[in-house]
């Protein structure tokens, strides 16, 4: 997970981050194309919506992987599948810890 810090005041937004954010790059491309947010409020709403969309994809992928492994375990229990399921569950727990305070 990547964090972003924002300072927003009338007509100005200052953001800092350690790594690139897909959401910010998408908004930058929209602005360069002349179709981006027109004010600070729109920027914030757009940023949060994009971040939510992107994390939604990660959650769906985890759910799909977990369902696949659980199906394999039901069909023919294998030690390897149990380890994969444990790994996926660990990722889900880490994601929950990150999203919980949000």
CA–CA separation, 40 and 20 (whole Å): 20
Residue 76: predicted pLDDT: 81
Q: Is the pTM of this model over 0.75?
A: no
**Band of the pLDDT at 26, cuts 50, 70, 90?**
very high
Segments making up each domain of the chain, as ranges? 5-99
Q: Is 43 a residue whose pLDDT tops 90?
A: yes
**7 - beta bridge partners?**
14
Per-residue pLDDT averaged across 58-72, rounded? 83
69 near 81, Cβ under 8 Å? yes
Q: Using the predicted structure, report yes or no on whether residue 23 has a pLDDT greater than 70.
A: yes
More confident residue, 46 or 71: 46
pLDDT at 48 over 70: yes
pLDDT at 1 over 70: no
Mean pLDDT of the region 32-46: 93
d(CA 39, CA 20): 22
CA 63 – CA 85 distance, rounded (Å): 11
């Amino acid at each position: 997970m990547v964090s972003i810090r924002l300072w927003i005041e009338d007509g100005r937004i200052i953001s800092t981050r350690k790594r690139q954010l897909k959401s910010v790059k998408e908004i930058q491309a929209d602005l360069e194309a002349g179709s981006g947010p027109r004010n600070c409020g729109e920027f914030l709403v757009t940023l949060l919506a994009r971040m939510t969309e992107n994390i939604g994809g990660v959650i769906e992928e985890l759910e799909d992987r977990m369902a696949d492994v659980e199906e394999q375990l039901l069909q023919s229990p294998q030690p390897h599948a149990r380890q994969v399921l444990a790994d996926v569950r660990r990722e889900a727990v880490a994601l929950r810890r990150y999203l919980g305070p949000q």
